Chain A
Amino acid sequence: MDARIVVIDDDADLRKALCWMLRLDGFEVSEFSDATEAISRIEGGLPADLILLDLMMPRMNGWEFCTYRAQSSVLTKVPVIMITARQSIVPPTGVSEILLKPFDPQLLQAVIARTLARPSVSGQE
């Protein structure tokens, strides 16, 4: 079965660009412009094997999402890859990997592959 990726980013063009590439790679992709909406859908049963998360978003940003995720039994099961332009940041809790913009698309694919290959244990960083 193809892995299911959730993309959360308020920048529509970047979000679309990510979805196109990931679908071409064979993933099933759900996209959200707003983190709170993503939370309610995933907790409501939307299957997710990986979350691609932008850091800077208006209503709920990447840090806030990770803080919420830490105490959500559903969300902690889903690894998070963070995408950001900001270089020296304190990584939010529970993030598996951080990708700095601009990144080589091949690097993104490699990071996704190895994150999915990792055995997922709830709460593990």
Chain B
Amino acid sequence: MPPGGYGADPNIGVIGDVLRHLAEIGAGRTSITDADLANAPSDLIRELLVGLLTLHEDLHYERGLRAGAEQQSDGLVADLRAAVAARDEFLSVASHELRTPLTTLRLVTTTLARALAHSPSENGSDLARQIAVINRQVVRLETLTAALLDVSRITSGRLALHLEPVDLGVLVHEIVNRFRADQTEGAPLIEFQSDSSVTGQWDPSRIDQVASNLIANAVSYGKGAPFQVSVHAVGDAARLIVRDEGIGIAADQRLRIFERFERAVSSSNYSGLGLGLWIAKQIVDAHGGQIEVDSELGRGATFTVTLPRSRAIDGSA
């Protein structure tokens, strides 16, 4: 402590003022004016005041820039959210609106086909084939529409599962038979095998969707070779396995194929929206299960769906 106490130190006043100014600046304001600068008693004090005022201004400027950037990014996030909501809304509305025209088309082609069958004419078989083509396209449109609606429902969190006691072996067997019934000459042989009483609480129409998608993929990408579908009870879980000897999937694609609109094949060779596996994964996840693929390019693929048999599912689906 200097002699005479702090009161004798001529710098105390200045330091006290500087501390006060720093406190103000920290609080986002300042009382220093340009007049203070012009009228400063000494160069040193002037420079101190300039430094403090500049500091305050720079802080404000940066804060302004940051707030502007944050506002912009907040704005961008809001825009993005709105765009996603609009897109999902559109998907929902579009796929909804498609349903009536598709219904009409189906009814008319069915009627045409039957009318033709009743009254055969010269071009009868040609017309019948053409009507069959129209009908198939309509069914394809229906499938795509349903897929689009599923996507929009799933992404907006509206996928609701209706759980019931289901025998997975029986369910998948029916699906396999459905595919077999639709098959034409040269279609791949579908081998089916199942443990008995592989039961659990699942949504049958949704599980149907998953199994159908996997089987349809095996038909499309299986190179026409026979493939195996099997259902097993594995402790507290049920397992569905679809194994084909087809084109296989490259290592770097194995995770990506479950993403929306992702396809491991070129769209010039294989058509489709690339939604099936994504929807399948959402459904399996919603049941508390897993879906995995084991595959190598050129060596076929094995899809395994594991579902818990007892009810321990997130209620949020």
Using CB atoms and an 8 Å cutoff, list the residues of chain A in contact with chain B. 11, 13-14, 17-18, 20-21, 24, 83, 85-86, 88, 101-106, 108
A21 touches B100 (CB 8 A): no
B106 touches A102 (CB 8 A): yes
Residue of A nearest to B118 (CB): A24
Q: B246 → chain A, closest Cβ, in Å? A: 29
B102 touches A101 (CB 8 A): yes
Residue of A nearest to B141 (CB): A102
Q: A123 → chain B, closest Cβ, in Å? A: 29
Count how many chain B residues have C-beta atoms less than 8 Å from C-beta atoms of the other chain. 17
Q: B145 → chain A, closest Cβ, in Å? A: 8
B87 on the interface (CB 8 Å rule)? no
Give the CA-CA distance A4 to B115 in the complex, in Å: 20
A17 touches B107 (CB 8 A): yes
B111 on the interface (CB 8 Å rule)? yes
B100 touches A85 (CB 8 A): yes
Instruction: Give the residues in chain A near B271, CB-CB below 8 Å.
Output: none
Q: Which of B97-120 contact A (CB under 8 A)?
A: 99-100, 102-104, 106-108, 110-111, 114-115, 118
Give the CA-CA distance A17 to B100 in the complex, in Å: 11
Instruction: Give the residues in chain A near B145, CB-CB below 8 Å.
Output: 102
CB-CB nearest 7 A-B residue pairs: A17-B107, A102-B102, A85-B99, A101-B99, A105-B110, A101-B103, A21-B111
Give the CA-CA distance A44 to B103 in the complex, in Å: 31
Instruction: Give the residues in chain B near A17, CB-CB below 8 Å.
Output: 103-104, 107-108, 111
B142 on the interface (CB 8 Å rule)? yes
Give the CA-CA distance A70 to B250 in the complex, in Å: 62
Residue of B nearest to A108 (CB): B107
A101 touches B111 (CB 8 A): no
B96 on the interface (CB 8 Å rule)? yes
Give the CA-CA distance A14 to B102 in the complex, in Å: 10
Give the CA-CA distance A14 to B111 in the complex, in Å: 13
Interface centre among A17, A86, A104 (most CB of B within 10 A): A17
Instruction: Give the residues in chain A near B102, CB-CB below 8 Å.
Output: 101-102
Give the CA-CA distance A88 to B103 in the complex, in Å: 18
Give the CA-CA distance A103 to B145 in the complex, in Å: 13
Instruction: Give the residues in chain A near B100, CB-CB below 8 Å.
Output: 11, 14, 85, 101
Instruction: List 18 A-B pairs, Cβ < 8 Å.
Output: A13-B104, A14-B100, A14-B104, A14-B107, A17-B107, A18-B107, A20-B108, A21-B111, A24-B111, A24-B115, A85-B100, A102-B102, A102-B103, A102-B106, A103-B103, A105-B106, A106-B110, A108-B107
